[in-house]
Structure 1
Amino acid sequence: MINIAHLTFDMRIGGTEQVIMNIVNGERSNDIRHRILCIETPLGPFGQRLVKQGITIDSWNRKSGFDRQLIKQIRAYLQTHHIDIIHCHQYTPWSYGALAAIGLKTKVIFTEHGRFYPDSSSWKRKIINPVLAFFTDHITAISNATRSALTKYEFIRADQIELVYNGIAPLTFSADDELQIATYKQCYQLPDDCLVLGTIARMDPIKNHELMIKVCAAINRSGIDCRLVIVGDGEQRTKIEHTIQEEAVCSKVILTGYKSEPKCFFGLFDIFLLTSFSEGTSMTLLEAMSLGIPSIVSNVGGNPEVIQDQRSGLVIPSDDVEACTSAVLSIYHSAQQQRMFADNARADFMQYFHVDVMNQSFNQIYKSCL
């Protein structure tokens, strides 16, 4: 039996949390036992769901600044519960987990899920990170772009970093889902012949929702009835609403707010948009791929690794309204392109981004530690 503890900030809604949930749910055997340790509270919806499934989750309240007491608490936990592997997700949990495990038999794995925008470094990290890496058995990144950032900004050698793409279970629509999609279509008054652009993301500056709104306005000015469905909420909502008014598309842009179960909104989308200024490996992009929805993504982070330009979707320059508008029109006017992107996106998803592919990679890493 391998006892694995996943150390993270919390288990609220997010890509990192979804990856952890997929790893934990993907390996329910007598060989591996997973538990989750959170350095912050509240636990969050994903965490509550896992607790109901019988997964052990423990948490602490990390103090501001560098919390030395937290290192002692994690160390005591590793010893008390005979943890074989501590899998640290994101940089801050890694710094605590790696220091807590020094001198113990517990092996350390660090997975970097994403980067801040704009990225930066510091002299402190230049000193401490090589030391942390020395006491870490495996370091993984979710994209080549993330791996490059670890080398450039965190001073971790490239040959120390393994690539493991995020993986999810493919989405499918049940009969009940199809009814829900039809209900949404009626509720939001989407005509059968309109073009529906869509995205599912928190309203954060890094997601660049304003560009999508400007693209929607440009498409409508060209004479095509275009709607933009934005699923999500967040700190940028007021600014987004202001942009909608500025672009005079109040009747064309739909803000659904936060949805705990957003899957059925994919059924409304003709084209999925991801115009972020920075991305690791977007989970909603993977979901769109699994459904065969043509996608347009900005050329940042892991996006061009997930979507192969002109094969499984279109990759555009970051923050370029004209390029994004042209990409939308290109897909809209070509049924052949729509079919090709859909088929290739599904094929790439199954080969590289299926949850079983990710879990197989991590299971190999886990077993190689012992």
Structure 2
Amino acid sequence: MLESFLNQLNDASNSSANRVINKVAQPRKVAFVCNPKMGGSGIIATELAMALAERGHHVWLLAEKHPYSWRQVSETLYFLKLEVNDYPVFESAPHTLALAGALANLIEQQGIEIVHAHYAVPYAAAAVMAKQICKQPFQLVTTLHGTDVVKLADDPAMHRVIDTVLTQSQRVICVSDDLAQQTHQRFDLPIYPEVIANFVPPGKMFAGSRQQAREQLQLDQQGIYLIHASNFRKIKRIPDIIEAFALVRKDIDCQLILLGEGPEVEPCKALAKQLGVFDDVVWVGQEPNINRWFAAANVNLQLSDYESFGLTLIECMVQGVPTVANNVGGMPEVVSGTGKLVEVGDIEATAQSVMALIEEQNHSSAEVQQRCIDKANNHYTSEAVCIAHEAVYHGLLVTAAKTA
């Protein structure tokens, strides 16, 4: 449960916890497979791979290109480019088959002990296939980030694939209590999913103040800025954000910053023009230094149909920025105590919540910022997340050694 994870995090600084860390932090050989594009699951997977490598583990990340947030942080971190050949006989390139074969080769050549897949389909599915062709045994850990459970699993055929993949995973990890409960309800797993929250790596934070961020971005120091960052899919409900912004804009002189790219960008631009707020929106597009923008903002908006966790929630939180989020999925677990929750589709309540947070900051901006920063530092650190994963890896390998 997430509560158990948070308790472990809060204990991580005492001496007994340090003894546990020393016991489980033996160098391991781990292969990561994930989506390399901009998106929460790929960013978290890549950052976790890098953090584990910095702690001395040998970590390979296998993908068709360097992931969005990749940095060569350690000599024990390796990137292996996945080559997917396009054959005329197929409608599309056989990505999953190529990944399975490349994984099997990597496992045999490097003695990989753990394959850590982020998403059941296609990444853990490829690892299950690799088990069938690989001459060396390995442990499969599958982290679920939400989409494969709450969206893909609605397809009966895909449900059977995901169920098989999760059943054949030695451990399933979910990023929130809500996602763990949904996974448990939808699939017949032999073990209840482990809950390990997401985190913000120290190197990804903007180290300066809101004033410094605005100076670098050439934003008005006295301005009020709302912000949203995503891959602009329909599930993110960005039209709701624009409509709520238009309501807030009637009462408060403010601007909306939108970061990211995706299929909903052009429809959102059309809506902004229709509502007369197009010129009040800062259309940033894809931006590698995203946390500088978060640091410059007053309020974050996350109005998705569903988020198992919502990485941008803590990316903003660590910069002292509160969030207005929909009361669904794992977002209430994250936002509680720092921001405000609204029901899906309630544009009026969203606008009122945004204005309430702005008013609160007008009275005591420092207090609002510190409340967010304290929760981020107490609940979502990379060290605690690494320790939790090391414990999972260690437990699996000890069990496997006993049964060998």
Global fold match (TM > 0.5): yes
Which AA in structure 1 matches 2:269?
Answer: E
Counterpart for residue 79 of structure 2: 57
1:100 aligned residue: 130
Match of 1:350 in 2: 377
1:280 to 292, 296, 308: 308
Task: Flag the structure with higher helix content.
Answer: 2
Equivalent position of 2:296 in the other structure: 268
User: Does the CA contact (< 8 Å) of 1:51 and 1:57 recur in 2?
Assistant: no
Tell me if 1:85 matches 2:114.
Answer: yes
Q: Deviations over 1:9-53 (max 9, x none)?
A: 4x2322222222222222346852111122xx2334434x33997
- The separation in 2 between residues aligned to 1:227 and 1:346, in whole angstroms, is 24
- For 2:232 and 2:54, locate their aligned partners in 1 and report how far apart those are by CA, in whole Å: 38
- 1:49-98: per-residue Cα shift (whole Å, max 9, x none)? 33997632222428656855653443233122211111111112111112
Equivalent residue runs for 1:1-370 within 5 Å = 1-9=27-35, 11-28=36-53, 32-38=57-63, 41-47=64-70, 49-50=71-72, 55-58=77-80, 59-61=82-84, 64=93, 67-68=96-97, 70-91=99-120, 92-102=122-132, 104-115=136-147, 118=151, 120-125=153-158, 127-153=160-186, 155-157=187-189, 159-170=191-202, 172-174=205-207, 179=212, 181-186=214-219, 190=220, 192=222, 194-222=223-251, 224-308=252-336, 311-335=337-361, 341-370=368-397
Residues 289 and 158 of structure 1, relative CA distance in 2, 3 Å threshold? farther
Closer, same or farther: CA 173–67 of 1 in aligned 2, 3 Å: closer
Q: Report the TM-score, using the length of structure 2 for normalisation.
A: 0.79
Q: Which moved more, 1:66-75 or 1:345-354?
A: 66-75
Q: CA deviation at 1:181?
A: 2.2
SS across alignment from 2:154: coil
Give CA-to-partner distance per residue, 1:308-348, whole Å, 9 cap, x none. Answer: 1xx21101111211110110122222346865553333232
Note the C-alpha offset of 1:258.
1.8
Question: Which amino acid in structure 2 is aligned with residue 251 of structure 1?
Answer: D
- Residue-pair matches, total: 358
Question: 1:159-197 CA deviation, whole Å, 9 max, x = no partner?
Answer: 4311011112246544699555214244xxx361x4321
Contact conserved, 2:144 with 2:174, CA < 8 A, in 1?
yes
- 1:206, distance to aligned residue in structure 2 (A): 1.8
The residue matched to 2:32 in structure 1 has which SS?
Answer: strand
Shift in alpha-carbon separation, 1:42–1:217, aligned structure 2, 3 A? same
The alignment yields a C-alpha RMSD, in angstroms, of 2.9
Query: Do the aligned residues in 2 keep the contact of 1:71 with 1:96 (CA within 8 Å)?
Result: yes
Q: Which residue of 1 aligns with 2:14?
A: none
How much does 1:350 deviate? Answer: 1.9
Shift, 1:132, TM fit: 3.5
TM-score normalised by the chain length of structure 1? 0.85
1:144 deviates by 2.0
Question: Following the alignment from structure 2 to structure 1, what is the Cα–Cα distance between the partners of residues 293 and 391?
Answer: 35
Give unmatched runs, 5+ long, in structure 1.
Answer: none
Contact 2:103 2:130 in 1 (8 A): yes
Unaligned runs of 5+ in 2: 1-26, 86-91, 398-404
Q: What is the identity percentage for the equivalent residue pairs of Structure 1 and Structure 2?
A: 16
Per-residue Cα deviation, 1:222-267 (whole angstroms, up to 9, x for no partner): 3x21211112222222111111111111332221222121222123
Contact 1:294–1:338 at 8 Å: present in 2 too? no
Q: Is the 8 A contact 1:196 1:229 kept in 2?
A: yes
Change (3 A) 1:30 1:217: closer
